[in-house]
A and B are shown apart, each in its own frame.
Chain A
Amino acid sequence: MTTETSAADLVEVVCAVPGVRGIEAGIASSLRTLDARLRGERGRARYGVVIDPESRTVTAEVGLGPGAPVRVIVEEIQRAVQRAIDRSAAGEPGEARTWRVLVRVQSVSGTGRTQH
């Protein structure tokens, strides 16, 4: 992960995944966004996505829409984020280790089953 991939970039990546209704900021990112602002590391957190270089974890807080099963959408989010990280780290030495992508699903709006 380099400074090229910022949390704002990842927000876009996450929102582009089918089945993601949007970012839904929760306590994890409220906290880290404040923290990042204090430390002058503005790229590290946007409401909803937090990049933590120390633990090599990206946390995304999302709301999901109806349709595909939750775990399928979550896995696609994780892969999309990992691809974005890989793209930005291409050619960088020592970036081989993968990052952990933790998804926190805050809400789901209907799971697509027909109602009676």
Chain B
Amino acid sequence: MGKIKIFALFIVFFNVNAICFAQTIIEGYVIDAENLKGVFASVVLKDENGKIITYTNTKNEGYFELKTTEKGVFNLNVSSLSYESQSKKIEIGTSSKIKLNFNLKPKITELKEVVIQSRQPITVKKDTIIFDAKSFLQGNEQVVEDLLKKIPGLNVLTDGTIKIGNQEVEKVMIDGDDFFEKGYKLVTKNMPVSPIDKVEVYQNYSNNKHLKGIENSEKVALNLTLKEDAKRIWFGNAFGGYGLVSDNRYEFRANLMNFGKKSKHYFLTNLNNIGIDAVGDINHLIRPFRYDEPASLGDNQSSNSLLALNYELPNLKKRRVNLNNAEMLSLNSIFTLSEKVKLKTLGFLNTDEVDFFRNSLQQFSVGNSTFANTEYFTGRKTQITGFGKIDLTYNISKTKTFEYTGKFNKTNEKNSSELLFNNDLLNERLYANNQLFDQKVVYTNKFKENKVFLLSSRYINEKTPQNYSVNQFIYSDLFAESANNTKQFSENKMQFAGIESHLLDKKKNGDLFEIKIGNQLRIDELNTRFELLQNENNIAFPNGYQNDLIYTTNDLYLSAKYRFKLKNFTLLTQADAHQLFNQLENFNIKTNQNPFFIMPKIGLDWKINDKNKILTSYSYNTTNAGVLDVYSGFVQTGFRSFSKGLEEFNQLNSSSAILNYTYGSWGDKFFANTFILYSKNNDFYSTNSIIAQNYSQSEKIIIKDREFLSISSSIDRYFKPIKSNLKINLGATKTNFKNIVNNSNLREVKNFNADYGFELRSGFRGFFNYHIGSKWNYNEVETTIKNSFTDNMSFFDLSFMFSDKFNIQVQSERYYFGNLDNENNQYYFLDLETRYVVRENKLTFFLSGNNLFNIETFRNYSISDINISQTEYRLMPRYVLLKMEYRF
């Protein structure tokens, strides 16, 4: 007994904390009445009114301890989930310690409760998310881009590209209307934020609204809805720069916008002579190429031009070599004529004067003959283009739409050159015009929930007449006549008429069945006349150098596609059957051919897991000859080249296989992408050429077996210690084909090309960042002899951010050519751009300097299967521009 008493005392002392004056300690154990184990419970001391004085939880073994200075009568409540609560009355008086134990009886507790939430200022419909702009604006936004950056889920990259996840948006509409499709940055970077009411995000977007949910689309689009009172205001920006130390360099850009309910307008202009190609951005509006998009009938049909002056440019940044003087004006409007009818008009006018300066030395080595040609070329191209597009959309009903698109383009181009060719001084003149008339009509009927029928029809009429004259006669080896100049006239008229019906049927399990039936008729008229003249007098129209050709191809086709959607696989099977009716009328002699062929295609996408994805596809293609493959008389395509086609019908077969493996995704620390393409042409067009010093004549021939293999791989890895990302690119291409030169036997030509390079880019948090890279290019051509060279391009960019308002970017490049002589094989370029913001989004100043080392000429080296050439080009000289941007 004594031992136990001491033991008990020991326990009591062991559990005692510092004792405060008048503080009472309530302690005890809470245990499970059945298994006598400690229970995790809540112990609360309440007064008689239920007010909580103090509380705690049980600790180890169910022990609890409460301290209070209150005195009086209280209730000690013990409760735990799954047990019946217990309450004991206690009186806290003079004793400094109260001990209570609780034995809780287990109880089956069940709780099930759901509470409804209230709405947020973000509304979600099936594929649309609507953000109330007011809720996201904080007051410091100026342009639409600033607001979009604050919307959760939208990523706006530094250059203005808008992405949702990894998917770039297709378009940014304004009140449901779209001007520029992928050129949306024109809107997001210029339009002010104040008129915007809501930002709507459309996921799984289809350009044709009736195809939504039926075609497999991952596309996304944005729509900005405008407030009622903020419509019909004019706003925009103007940007101008003028050369400081350099001669007469200028740049001017301006945008002017007005978005009303009944009409929307967007006007822009660009004038510059610093090499910027503003037209390139607009080009995808004039000639959009939509791959695999329903109702894109005729997108791939265009007329061909045979004649051209040699305006080849070296592989440098476009603005270093584009010696231009360009003016561009674009007026775009959308008119909502009624609830069902909308009219969009786009107008575009562009003039340009581009200068070319080129000197080259070409060493030919063909068979047993070797010779060299030198050219000193000065050329000027003047062109004026006018383009107009009208788009009329009529929504007949909720499920039927009719759309008409009409395009008109007229280009007049004059090229002239002064060319010192060996010892002859030639003047070339080339007048080339283009007249395009393109009409398209699309009728869409969504006759059932998951079935859509499209009927589209298109007519294109394009004329490209060309007139070429050379004021010297250097073909005395070809023609017996004594002439002193030549003229070549070429008229190429193309007419295309097509009709296509397309049915899409989306099955319940996600499979997609598509069937297309159509007929495409294309008529090409090729008339060429080559004449020899003595001064102004015609001497001869040589035989074999004239063309009077009408080539008609009628393709009646059926295409069936089935896409199986399995768990991690998508299997695509496709078969296209074509019945062609070809007719060739050459100098009034007609020949016909009616071939029939089938093209199968199979593809498999396999998403092995989140990190590994494989895409493969195999297809067997048959290509019908085009007009440029069949013409029979030689055409003078350049001052020393003549070429002709094959004079007969052909369908060429080829098969190609693609394999694409991706490891990881863009944001991962380690990301690799490998792409392998193998293609084999069973038959292909090659050339049989006669190459002499003053001319080359080549005619098309058909050869068997050309192979093409391309492998490219890029690896990205982020290195944390140096806070930089390393990118390694490797690529190799191997091509084998055959041709005949100077009456040789069929000779094999092997081309091998390898690219390897790296880039290291920093991501420092401070004011300084670098980007450095180098790329080697190895080129090899082998016929009976082997020629090769290795070039290198390296760059080193620095960026300095002094503050939000002021920053400097420096870009430097070095080009090295392995086979040029040591004096001329290295080139260094330096560009500088500084930006100073006077008032955020109102006024900004820029100072930019290009080609600060003033490299005036650039020489490069190239090889082909018949010659090796060294060419020297004149570049955009050094200039420094002071620019200012004002937003209103």
- Are A and B co-members of a single complex? no
Q: Which residues of A contact B (CB under 8 A)?
A: none
